[in-house]
Structure 1
């Protein structure tokens, strides 16, 4: 089987890595993290101009790709540079939910502006009690006149503070944790009754907690069919898991490269660190973990693109394995750099923080090990 990138994917990879190496140095990233917006509007416009924002969507939805393999190329390259622009929130989560559920008119209204870089979206699905279970939803949407009234609270909404439109998962029927009865609504961020508390996460990205108090929506705010959002969102979650796995792989590859380079120059007792065999073994372990992570990711992405029956199981296997690899590689990189490995001035600690957060996104290692073993039993 041919695991090599297509010509188009190789060009995409080269283009993003060139941007990261020439225009996305660590000091510039730190300034963006501390800015009011939390990322670069100029970079975002460039992403749109180069077509990167459309690569996560099929041609039928106005995009240029749509496969998990295309997404893997983008996210792995972004991971190498710790890119903080909200690609995951817009083009994988919220945009993915629209692509899976929305009508043609809704896709035209929402996706075209996302691909063009004019509109920011966010997907609000997580709640305090949910523990990675999308179906565990207390937020209620009730019929109100010709539309709906929504009340509830959402947490850890990626890009929630900058979004123009927030896609809110709410229960229109059934009881808490029922998979049936979940619906998705497109809520304007400035809607009356919607409050959001924005913040910067420990890894430099942006998030928000959102409270909805009797937010009134027209009937056309419903995205897709009422009560049938769960299956589509489950697929969106699996796609997002593949995306962050690819990002983690990019993070780990960069940490490995930086660690090897550092040990070739840092001296102890008159010798470079790379001279010591014990440290060579530790870096060899880091290399093996990166290779195994890449293999798991490739398998999961191919099964996802092929709509294989066990695609979800393969995604969980990859998420669990890459979570374990990320912990080892991140910790080794920090330890081999010594005390400076956790300073704010050195990028190594920031890669480690991002890897730590990625493990918790969309289900941590323990969650996916359990999901995998249940599917295999």
Structure 2
């Protein structure tokens, strides 16, 4: 048995990396962040040309019909280039919602649009991941939704939303629906769109063709694996930048990379981060092949990469010294990306609590 990527997977990731290197340089990321663009349309168009939006959409609906591990490889590349693109909700969680709980008519109407990159989709299920907060939560009654959804992924620029209610039901809501108010949140990471949705008797189309609770759980698991992979990509890029800087920066007549303390810092970052790769790969594999382990492994991957990612972000910045805190290097884009990954779909503490419940070590 081969425990590694297939040739096709390696070629796909190399293709995505080459494309992002060309279309998502730091200057383009900076421009998108400063303009507060919900996402960079030119970068998204390049990803659409590669078929990224249709990665896990079935082939009979216009997609590629690939697995979550393939999506994790793309998410790692996006983190590496801090690409301002609507991937996790639009290309992963939304297709899973439609595949798991939409009717054949709904699948036929929406999945081809997702596969072709014709629609951006926001996903509002954060209350299922981090617990309901005061004043938050959606109530469904008579085909209408009322309430507030917090931390909606890919919120800005979305054409429609997939919304989870208090009873684990899932609903389709158009972005221009009457009674729906959208608020874009300003988070530390300006490369991705997160927002709030307020519903006042908003017309919604329920997804009723499957077990919505199971579908929501799978959406959450997949989202957590994607965030862990994003952190992996961003973390490795920060390590590379720290090593390159250490080879150039001179102090006391020597490059700082020759100092033992700096060598240890760089080596420790690599030693801490690299094992996370196999953890992410296994979590993605379990999602498709070992469903009974999926939720636990997704929780482990998310919690572990969140902690290691913070260590790498801090240490890489320290290697850069004072330069690490300037806008000139742009290191803060990766630093903040890792910071937001840590909090979305559950903080490490919350995710570890979920893992404890899954193993019977704590009450739900």
TM-score under structure 2 normalisation?
0.92
Contact 1:89/1:123 (<8 A) preserved: yes
- Whole-angstrom CA distance in 2 between matches of 1:16 and 1:80: 11
SS in 1 for 2:223: helix
Does residue 198 in structure 1 map to residue 193 in structure 2? no
1:275 is aligned, of 258, 277, 286, to: 258
The corresponding residue for 1:100 is 100
Q: Which runs of 5+ in 1 are unaligned?
A: 172-180
1:36 Cα shift? 5.8
Contact 2:276/2:301 (<8 A) preserved: yes
CA-to-partner distance for each residue in 1:282-317, whole Å, 9 max, x for gaps? 111101112111121122222222134222112211
1:80 Cα shift? 0.9
1:241 is aligned, of 215, 224, 227, to: 224
The corresponding residue for 2:145 is 150
Structure number with the bigger relative contact order (C-alpha 8 A, sep ≥ 6) is: 2
SS in 1 for 2:196: strand
The structure-2 alpha-carbon separation of the partners of 1:375 and 1:195, relative to structure 1 and needing over 3 Å to count, comes to closer
Contact 2:120/2:157 (<8 A) preserved: yes
- Whole-angstrom CA distance in 1 between matches of 2:280 and 2:186: 28
Does residue 338 in structure 1 map to residue 321 in structure 2? yes
Contact 1:260/1:283 (<8 A) preserved: yes
Q: Which runs of 5+ in 2 are unaligned?
A: none
SS in 2 for 1:289: helix
Does residue 167 in structure 1 map to residue 154 in structure 2? no
- Whole-angstrom CA distance in 2 between matches of 1:329 and 1:268: 23
Contact 1:252/1:290 (<8 A) preserved: yes
1:188 Cα shift? 1.1
Size of the aligned set, in residue pairs, is 358
The corresponding residue for 2:273 is 290
TM-score under structure 1 normalisation?
0.89
SS in 1 for 2:169: strand
The corresponding residue for 1:253 is 236
CA-to-partner distance for each residue in 1:348-370, whole Å, 9 max, x for gaps? 12111111111111112112222
Moved over 6 A (4+): 134-137
SS in 1 for 2:194: strand
Between 249-258 and 154-163, the greater mean CA deviation after superposition: 154-163
